[in-house]
Homo-oligomer: A and B are copies of this chain.
Amino acid sequence: MRYFRATVEYDGTDFFGFQVQPGVPTIQGALEEAIARVTTEKTLITAAGRTDTGVHARGQVIAFPSSWKRDTEELLRAINAVLPEAIALLDLEEVEESFHPRYSARRREYRYFLHCRAVRSPLRLRYSLHVPYALDIAAMNEVAHSIVGVHDFATFGDPTSGESTVREVFTSRWEQRGEEWVYVVEANGFLRRMVRTLVTAQLWVGSGRWLPEDFQAALAAHDRSLSPPPAEPRGLHLWKVTY
């Protein structure tokens, strides 16, 4: 049996998230179906992150076993040919079986895109959140920088059962490119909904609904009930996984 690793890009709009669920289209389901069609074996894949419904990926990482006999390049092309247009393998390589996309990952980077102007942009809405009100980027960056380091993010995300709510954040900053704003956040891992909830919290700070002190108090309280709701999934992109 050989073992393969791939980087996957997808438009998550029309999928019910990454993880297989019966009766609805999922990224995992589409990938497993495509690989099975090409290799004629039933295949289970593992992935670096289980993105939620509507979340996109530029650099999801998956792995799967296969008894494929021929060239890796040929397997890549064949899988891409049968995948839906909204999903594509960007690369494919043979790896050791000890490689695990989730457990071997050291850093995960997400990016959340805002489009800031009075009127919505239909050509950007699929991949970013429209923000028609003014934002104080300095206040947002103050909050963004404050979460770098090791923190307990119990307020801002949902652990799977028994999971710690402590994460180490390596990068957390807002970048502005004209009307497009990007929140870049890299950590050793994220709780479920954590990035989108942090985005709303920072939008609350940027719009004056919260003071930076309110954010700090919510973070320190480790109380999920103090959390703002998660921002819409359309702006969120799983950007890069580092091993």
Contact = CB atoms under 8 A, between A and B. Distances in A.
Interface in A32-76: 56, 58, 76
A123 B88 CA distance: 10
A122 B10 contact: yes
A186 interface: no
Interface string A111-126: 0000000011111011
Nearest to A91: B119
Interface residues of A, number: 23
A87 interface: yes
Contacts of A86: 122, 125
Contact of A119 (B89, B120, B125, B127): B89
A80 interface: yes
Question: How many chain copies?
Answer: 2
Contact of A9 (B87, B90, B121): B121
Contacts of A120: 80, 85, 88
Contacts of A122: 9-11, 85-88
Contacts of A90: 119
Which of A88, A90, A91, A119 is the most central at the interface, judged by chain B CB atoms within 10 Å of its CB? A119
Nearest to A7: B119
14 contacts: A9-B121, A11-B122, A11-B125, A56-B123, A76-B119, A80-B119, A80-B120, A85-B122, A85-B125, A86-B122, A88-B119, A88-B121, A88-B122, A90-B119
Please provide the 4 A-B residue pairs with the shortest distance between their CB atoms, ordered closest to farther: A11-B122, A86-B122, A88-B120, A10-B122
Given A9-B121, A80-B120, A87-B122, 20 more contacts: A10-B122, A11-B125, A11-B126, A56-B123, A58-B123, A76-B119, A80-B119, A85-B120, A85-B122, A85-B125, A86-B122, A86-B125, A88-B119, A88-B121, A88-B122, A89-B119, A90-B119, A123-B127, A123-B237, A126-B126
